[in-house]
Chain A
């Protein structure tokens, strides 16, 4: 391996090289990882097939990429091909009576809700931003603030077609190719390309939600509120002030939301309109939101975040009148879209998100230790989000009957090594508690940890399906090589990412 032989070189000449004009620097959404790849933007699935063929001829691998909203290296493929599927974004069929929709993988959550809401439907599961593609959402099996009630998005998929690297299409549903159905959803795009996805929408009777803000004094208090509210709330999400220490560890603000019942909204035809959902594009009617991240930039340090968090918490506590306000679906669901490009506020080194999913009985203990460890290491997370979850049927799932805590860490060239070391420490606590991780967020996991939380049996099954769907090993990503490279037995060891 430490040599290119003259035979290889002679053979190489005969093979095609990849077009240099397709070279691009491809970034993870958090900007803390990137790599150079040959990017292709097909507008038909025949073009997708031809990229498979080109990769085969030139000895390269192919990664699928949607909107590029995975935080880490899930949609990167260093020095190989990246298929950007965002142009494959047609809505193929829509039944407004049943709420069933069929779409191509490049359709975004935004396209989807804008299409169905005027008919009185809403996607049953949405992430914290409306920009991901449905292909990406299925590959990662994303969840929302209602995971404990509705499960992940995969629970609302009725069927899909999966294009394999050899050109075959496999129809998968709960009755057909069931094993592949359960593995490709959450299979981080490594088994095949979703070409046609059918989902069920949720009936809504208003464009508004009833939203209530509740202050939690500590992590135990937050969990207690979640436990009490879970049965009655359609959505629950907790913001945690990760810089608060001592007895305040885990303090924060919870938002609980409920759909309106039929008849509660006097003007549903008005609130269900797309225009009534739009987020304002100016703050206080003056400042364009596109500028806002620049104002946040000076506060993105331990002292700045401490002040902002403290203000946010105490303002929440002060205003905590248990008053229910009405908020649009968009305003409640897509918190991450309030400040466009907010990730830029983290500076050129970007951020990573560390999210772990812990069974209910251990959650409070694990998250308290994680927060304290991060504070002691001198790297308090600048954003921390707490959610309730449930277990699901999918092979590579991150779902547990418990809670998750998502921690955003600012990355700089100087702290990078230390943050990765901290993540390894956090991993140990998670694994000891029987917790899980989420490929859409991950940047730091190690192969043996994945094997441990998924179990060897699940990984064996997944790798068997991988060999069946992609015997030549055409589909790879940086994340796949990092976490499954040794299992796949490929030559990834010489391609040192990170």
Chain B
């Protein structure tokens, strides 16, 4: 795929959709800073990508998204090491398995930390830069789960809904400055996060998801369902009135 970016950050790049996005970016000739908690996996991926490319195209940056205080320096330093920064993809996320009667605040806070606050901390840095430079692409990986507050996982849905709202606000702030802000909403993707989940339909691979997300980002789509057929599902879900929705088993 032909991609317009030369330098990018992928947060959550050690597995799943983030890893697939990072690999595709590198294969398209982009230099990428891969950011994730698991240093050993990052290093293995970067070593492989750099070996393939024959020069240093991938920078491994071990980082825990809880550590907000590191982020401004890390963001500036990734741009310095790569020689620029045109795009950022926030793909870190957790999907804890929750029992139907479970209300564990520690788990919920962790979900908000990784799925939402980490995104805000990283994308704020990108927004600050791109607003000044008048260009750039910001991509957040939301979820179809954010379209409605479902019974299965209240805080996961909350985190993805809040992320979508945050991204919409960024888009409205930065759109007039030439910055693209894209909300990707995947359905079911075959990754570690979804292993063992029951009732997955229209399952696609992480690589296919990455391909669709990058295509949407290149076009500067505002909200992209991954794959696009989920848009109809999202539309229907959002139109169902609350009194009916709570009786449904979704």
Interface residues of A (CB under 8 A from B): 1-6, 9, 12-13, 15, 17-18, 20-21, 23-25, 35-36, 59-60, 78-80, 493-497
Give CA–CA (A60, B58) in the complex, Å: 21
Do A2 and B46 have beta carbons less than 8 Å apart? yes
Do B81 and A494 have beta carbons less than 8 Å apart? yes
Top 4 nearest A-B pairs (CB, nearest first) are A495-B83, A23-B132, A3-B60, A79-B80
Give CA–CA (A9, B50) in the complex, Å: 22
Give CA–CA (A6, B80) in the complex, Å: 17
Query: Closest Cβ of chain B: how far from A70's Cβ, in Å?
Result: 20
Query: Closest Cβ of chain B: how far from A60's Cβ, in Å?
Result: 7
Give CA–CA (A495, B99) in the complex, Å: 49
Say whether, besides A3-B43, A13-B70, A495-B83, A23 and B59 are in contact (CB < 8 Å): no
Say whether, besides A20-B132, A25-B134, A495 and B61 are in contact (CB < 8 Å): no
Do B80 and A495 have beta carbons less than 8 Å apart? yes
B162 is an interface residue with CB less than 8 A from chain A: no
Say whether, besides A2-B56, A35-B84, A13 and B73 are in contact (CB < 8 Å): yes
Do A4 and B132 have beta carbons less than 8 Å apart? no
Q: Which of B42-85 contact A (CB under 8 A)?
A: 42-43, 46-47, 50, 55-56, 58-63, 69-70, 72-74, 76-85
B24 is an interface residue with CB less than 8 A from chain A: no
B205 is an interface residue with CB less than 8 A from chain A: no
Query: Closest Cβ of chain B: how far from A256's Cβ, in Å?
Result: 46
Say whether, besides A9-B63, A9-B74, A79 and B79 are in contact (CB < 8 Å): yes
Say whether, besides A2-B60, A3-B46, A21-B132, A78 and B70 are in contact (CB < 8 Å): no
Q: Which of A4, A35, A60 contacts B60 (CB 8 A)?
A: A4
Give CA–CA (A68, B78) in the complex, Å: 27
User: Residue on A with the closest CB to B79?
Assistant: A79
Do A9 and B129 have beta carbons less than 8 Å apart? no
User: Residue on A with the closest CB to B86?
Assistant: A36
Give CA–CA (A25, B86) in the complex, Å: 12
Q: Which of A2, A20, A497 contacts B50 (CB 8 A)?
A: A2
Give CA–CA (A24, B80) in the complex, Å: 14
B31 is an interface residue with CB less than 8 A from chain A: yes
Q: Report which residue of A5, A25, A496 has the largest number of chain B beta carbons within 10 angstroms of its beta carbon.
A: A496
Q: Which of B129-150 contact A (CB under 8 A)?
A: 129, 132-135
Say whether, besides A4-B59, A4-B60, A23-B132, A78 and B73 are in contact (CB < 8 Å): no
Do B59 and A2 have beta carbons less than 8 Å apart? yes
Do A17 and B60 have beta carbons less than 8 Å apart? no
B106 is an interface residue with CB less than 8 A from chain A: no
Q: Report which residue of B69, B73, B82, B129 has the largest number of chain A beta carbons within 10 angstroms of its beta carbon.
A: B73
Do B133 and A25 have beta carbons less than 8 Å apart? yes
User: Residue on A with the closest CB to B125?
Assistant: A20
Do A496 and B72 have beta carbons less than 8 Å apart? no
Q: A3-B59, A496-B31 are in contact. List 19 more A-B contacts (CB 8 A).
A: A1-B56, A2-B46, A2-B59, A2-B60, A3-B42, A4-B81, A6-B39, A9-B61, A9-B63, A9-B70, A13-B70, A20-B128, A20-B129, A20-B132, A21-B132, A23-B132, A36-B129, A495-B81, A495-B83
When distances are taken between beta carbons in the complex, the residues of chain A under 8 Å from B55 are 493
When distances are taken between beta carbons in the complex, the residues of chain B under 8 Å from A21 are 132
When distances are taken between beta carbons in the complex, the residues of chain A under 8 Å from B63 are 9
When distances are taken between beta carbons in the complex, the residues of chain B under 8 Å from A25 are 133-135
Do A78 and B132 have beta carbons less than 8 Å apart? no
Do A18 and B76 have beta carbons less than 8 Å apart? yes
Do B129 and A4 have beta carbons less than 8 Å apart? no
What number of B residues sit within 8 Å (CB to CB) of A? 37
Say whether, besides A494-B81, A494-B83, A4 and B56 are in contact (CB < 8 Å): no
Query: Closest Cβ of chain B: how far from A472's Cβ, in Å?
Result: 16
Query: Closest Cβ of chain B: how far from A491's Cβ, in Å?
Result: 8
When distances are taken between beta carbons in the complex, the residues of chain B under 8 Å from A18 are 76
Q: What are 8 inter-chain pairs, A to B, with CB distance below 8 A?
A: A3-B60, A4-B78, A4-B81, A9-B63, A15-B73, A20-B72, A495-B82, A495-B83
Q: Which of A3, A13, A35, A496 contacts B61 (CB 8 A)?
A: A3
Query: Closest Cβ of chain B: how far from A4's Cβ, in Å?
Result: 5
Do A36 and B79 have beta carbons less than 8 Å apart? yes
Give CA–CA (A79, B231) in the complex, Å: 39
User: Residue on A with the closest CB to B132?
Assistant: A23
Do A493 and B56 have beta carbons less than 8 Å apart? yes
Q: Which of B47, B72, B74, B79 contacts A4 (CB 8 A)?
A: B74
Give CA–CA (A6, B60) in the complex, Å: 11
Q: Which of A4, A13, A24, A78 contacts B84 (CB 8 A)?
A: A78
When distances are taken between beta carbons in the complex, the residues of chain A under 8 Å from B81 are 4, 494-495
When distances are taken between beta carbons in the complex, the residues of chain A under 8 Å from B129 are 20, 23, 36
User: Residue on A with the closest CB to B72?
Assistant: A17
When distances are taken between beta carbons in the complex, the residues of chain B under 8 Å from A79 are 76, 79-80, 83-85
Contact with A along B195-231 (1 / 0, CB 8 A): 0000000000000000000000000000000000000
Query: Closest Cβ of chain B: how far from A242's Cβ, in Å?
Result: 32
Query: Closest Cβ of chain A: how far from B194's Cβ, in Å?
Result: 29
User: Residue on B with the closest CB to A491?
Assistant: B81
Give CA–CA (A495, B57) in the complex, Å: 10
Query: Closest Cβ of chain B: how far from A28's Cβ, in Å?
Result: 15
Give CA–CA (A79, B86) in the complex, Å: 12
Do A4 and B77 have beta carbons less than 8 Å apart? yes
Give CA–CA (A79, B74) in the complex, Å: 13
Give CA–CA (A5, B59) in the complex, Å: 11
Query: Closest Cβ of chain B: how far from A320's Cβ, in Å?
Result: 49
User: Residue on A with the closest CB to B76?
Assistant: A17
Do A6 and B132 have beta carbons less than 8 Å apart? no
Query: Closest Cβ of chain A: how far from B33's Cβ, in Å?
Result: 8
User: Residue on A with the closest CB to B49?
Assistant: A2
When distances are taken between beta carbons in the complex, the residues of chain A under 8 Å from B47 are 2
